[in-house]
């Protein structure tokens, strides 16, 4: 009786956002209706536009408005390298680091059986086909979390079976890192994966 | 170059939600586009519908789709009591407690000079006019926070100047509360505001 139906619907609809429960959804709805109606209308428009125009790039699987994204079409990228990342945000981090000029494949997730995300949901068969096209090295840059490691291991098994060269980005101390302040797991890995110093 | 413009716009638009920074907005946008496009479209629709149809009730200032909301129109409410709450959620809590059958006035906020919310932004002149209409008692049920207390104090000054009877809901130990586990501020207030036991 006290909550108008369109307000109830809005509160319910806001819960599709990750990490938003009933209380936050209520707070968000009140805020928008009370203090930011233009923002609400702009959000509605952006949602419609993004849902309509955003698809996955046919080559790298990243979000794109075109069939093949600008990065995959660029002639200035090294087509012999294919870097596998979990999310578009990871690709952005790689680009910002300016350490890599090859191609990408964005998994749009990671193996996570508890969330029902297996090899099929990640379209790993597309990654294998993509890797067979041209690259001579696939660099696995999934996160160093349990799930990211499992994903990297699974992909490595798939690709090695096709005789494709696979590498994994290095673990170790961060640049500027001090032994005193690093966690013991990282330090142990840094020792295990030590590199020979020549000259 | 790497983020499609409609995705960037969506991430930006999501930041109008309270408590959502750039990282959360990105996560939300990825989630919607990757896993819940129907949810995104439904959210867009609900935003449009709510912004269009939700207004403030002319009497109680609560969100309403009609000029005067169902609660204010109800003949079964006690029109001699007017309860002042901060937000619609507080009104719902009062109704759920089933302890009150009078009318309401929803401030839609609290005095908060740091956020630029003063007497004008809360439309307190409307509250004064409403209180002069009929009620013989105004019950202040703002929160017992610093801002809620300041708001109650300010409103009480306004209304007392008009010779309107004003009361404040009681502070004290919660029902089922134990002295051992209650904070000292609450306990001190419970002692200060002790009631005489008769009979």
C-alpha distances (whole Å) from A48 to each of A74, A92, B6, B9 are 29, 24, 10, 11
Spans of chain B, pLDDT less than 50: none
- Given a cut of 70, whether residue A199 has pLDDT beyond it is no
Mean pLDDT of A176-189: 78
Write the residue in A31, A48, A70 that is nearest to B1 by C-beta: A70
**Residues paired with residue B138 on neighbouring β-strands, in sequence order:** B82, B166
Fold of A5-53: Helicase, Ruva Protein; domain 3 (1.10.8)
Return the pLDDT at A194: 77
- B33 vs A173: which has the higher pLDDT: B33
Confidence of residue A69 (pLDDT cuts 50, 70, 90): very high
Which residues from B are below 8 Å from A30, CB to CB? 63, 87-89, 108
> Are β-strands A137-140 and A166-168 bridged in parallel, bridged antiparallel, or unpaired?
parallel
Nearest by CB to residue A31, choosing from B18, B26, B27, is B18
Q: Which two tokens stand for residue A55?
A: 């698809």
Min Cα separation A123/chain B (Å): 13
Q: Give yes or no for residue A141 having a pLDDT over 60.
A: yes
Closest residue to B2, CB basis, from A44, A48, A71:
A71
Q: What is the pTM of this model?
A: 0.75
pLDDT digits (tens, 9 = 90+) for A98-121: 888 899 999 998 998 888 888 888
Task: Give A190 or B51, the one with higher predicted confidence.
Answer: B51
pLDDT at residue B172, as a whole number? 82
Per CB-CB distance under 8 Å, the chain A contacts of B34 are 108-109
The residue whose two tokens read 């207390």 is B149
Mean pLDDT of A81-110: 89
- Which residue, among B191, B190, B184, B130, has the nearest Cα to B162 in the 3D structure? B130
CB contact under 8 A, A28 and B17: yes
Look at domain A80-168 and name its CATH class. alpha beta
- Cα distances (Å, whole numbers) of residue A124 to A61, A91, A99, A119: 11, 18, 25, 6
pLDDT band at A2 (very low <50, low <70, confident <90, very high): low
d(CA A120, CA A128): 12
Quote the ipTM score: 0.76
Q: What is the pLDDT of residue A100?
A: 86
Give every CB contact of residue A85 below 8 A, 6+ residues apart in sequence: A91, A94, A104, A105, A106, A107, A141, A142
What crossing angle do the helices spanning A22-35 and A5-14 adopt, rounded to 10°?
120
Q: Where are the domains of chain A?
A: 5-53, 80-168, 172-199
Predicted pLDDT of residue B100: 86
**Distance (Å) from the alpha carbon of A9 to chain B's nearest alpha carbon:** 6
What pLDDT shows up at residue A31?
A: 92
Q: Which chain A residues touch B65 with a CB distance below 8 Å?
A: 4-6
């Amino acid at each position: 009786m006290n909550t108008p139906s369109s307000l109830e619907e809005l509160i319910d609809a806001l819960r599709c956002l990750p990490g938003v429960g009933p209380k936050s959804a209520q707070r968000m709805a009140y805020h928008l209706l009370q203090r930011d109606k233009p923002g609400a209308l702009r959000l509605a428009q952006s949602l419609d536009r993004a849902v309509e125009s955003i698809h996955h790039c046919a080559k790298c699987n990243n979000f794109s408005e075109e069939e093949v994204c600008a990065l995959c079409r660029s002639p200035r990228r090294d087509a012999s390298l294919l870097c596998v990342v979990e999310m578009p945000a990871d690709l952005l981090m790689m680009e910002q680091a300016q350490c890599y000029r090859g191609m990408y494949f964005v998994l749009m997730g990671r193996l996570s059986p508890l969330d029902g995300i297996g090899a099929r949901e990640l379209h790993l068969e597309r990654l294998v086909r993509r890797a067979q096209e041209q690259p001579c090295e696939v660099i696995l840059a999934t996160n160093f979390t349990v799930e990211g490691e499992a994903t990297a291991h699974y992909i490595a098994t798939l690709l090695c079976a096709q005789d494709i060269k696979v590498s994994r980005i290095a673990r170790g101390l961060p640049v500027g890192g001090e032994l005193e302040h690093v966690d013991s797991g990282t330090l142990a890995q840094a020792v295990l994966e030590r590199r020979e110093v020549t000259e």
